[in-house]
Amino acid sequence: MRNRTKISSVAILPTVAVLVAGGLLAGCGGSNSDSSSTTTARTATTAESASQDGRRLDDPSPIGTFAVARVEVTFVDDSRPTKAHGGQPEKPQRTLPTVVWYPTAGDATGKVADGGPMIDGGKAPLIVFSHGSTRNADDYASTLVAWASAGYVVAGPNYPLSTTGVPGGTDYGGAPEQAVDVAFVIDRMLAGEAGDEKAPWSGRIDDARIGLGGQSFGAITTLTAVADPCCTDDRIAAITEFAGFGGGSEKTPADATGAPPALFVHGNADPTVPYDAGRGSFDHYPGDAWFLTLVGTGHDDGYFGGLDEPLDELVTRATAAFYDAQLKGDDQGMDRLRELVSKAGPKVATLEPRS
């Protein structure tokens, strides 16, 4: 576990409120370990490991190295309510249906398997990915499967007041609640829960190598989880965020530290979360940060397609390289990130560190 100093910064909620009032975020959709919980699983699995060619999950591996399996679990936090929203009454708990992708044995070029054992060979880093407004984890499956195929366990919780089909639309004041959900999901993933059985990843996640990702309102959630005093989780070792903002303000000291390394990704023609909002968050982020500009692109371009489209492939490979550098100690990871952007060219993307 990383030890970090709590960050002195300003909560992002007033900025969220401003964007909502301006009608911008409305288009986004296109814990603690002692919390009480229950868990159910929709896919039967076994925690028995499989071996394959001696490849280790804690070593950097190219996308496509491992076959990928998928499991759905439901994590229930009985210690926190879901507030009344959009005509729904308050509920006594937070229910988080979560999709988990993880490396498994088999043909790495084949379809995603329905459950099964996690491949043997060390412990894997964990990435928790937060969906955007009125979306769900499976909307990002192509990208998240690619990360899993490089040796990561990837968990995508579906949040009760921002996922697809939420009555009344997303609760845009709920980023802190979702940040606490992220911590709760990490707790449950480390506990190896999958219903009545041990999960395939039980005992196989490295608790010192935990990353976050998110898009749009999920990116706001991600930044809240690492850089807002309300709910900072010291276990997080790296983040990527797509088309979001937050995690600091103009009042954050220029020399503030404590947040984990971050890769910001934003289209400079984003009509929903303005590019300048993302740049402002980058400028005031209280930790090491890099900014990947997607030239001429909007709010959703590049984040959903995995390797299917050139821009999506750039984002997917760039973020995987960043995670490799930060979570797997890959000395070449940041060089690969820079090379990917350089090869794409300045008419497609640019990358800059925060000076």
pLDDT on residue 28: 52
- Positions of the chain with pLDDT under 50: 1-18, 20-23, 26-27, 30-36, 41-52, 249-256
Q: Indicate the helix (H) or strand (E) that contains 197.
A: strand 197-198
Structure tokens at 326: 């930060």
Listed in order, strand segments (DSSP E) in 35-144 are 37-41, 67-77, 94-104, 113-114, 124-130
**Residue 109 class from Cβ within 10 Å (0-12 exposed, 13-18 middle, 19+ buried)?**
exposed
Domain boundaries, the chain: 13-353
pLDDT on residue 110: 79
CB 299 within 8 A of CB 28: yes
**What pTM was estimated for this model as a whole?**
0.87
The CATH homologous superfamily of the domain defined by 13-353: Alpha/Beta hydrolase fold, catalytic domain (3.40.50.1820)
Give 309's DSSP letter.
S
Residue 8, number of CB atoms within 10 A of its CB: 12
Q: Give the contacts of 322 (CB within 8 A, at least 6 positions apart).
A: 238, 240, 261, 263, 290, 333, 334, 337
Show the CA angle centred on residue 129, arms to residues 133 and 283, nearest 5°. Answer: 80
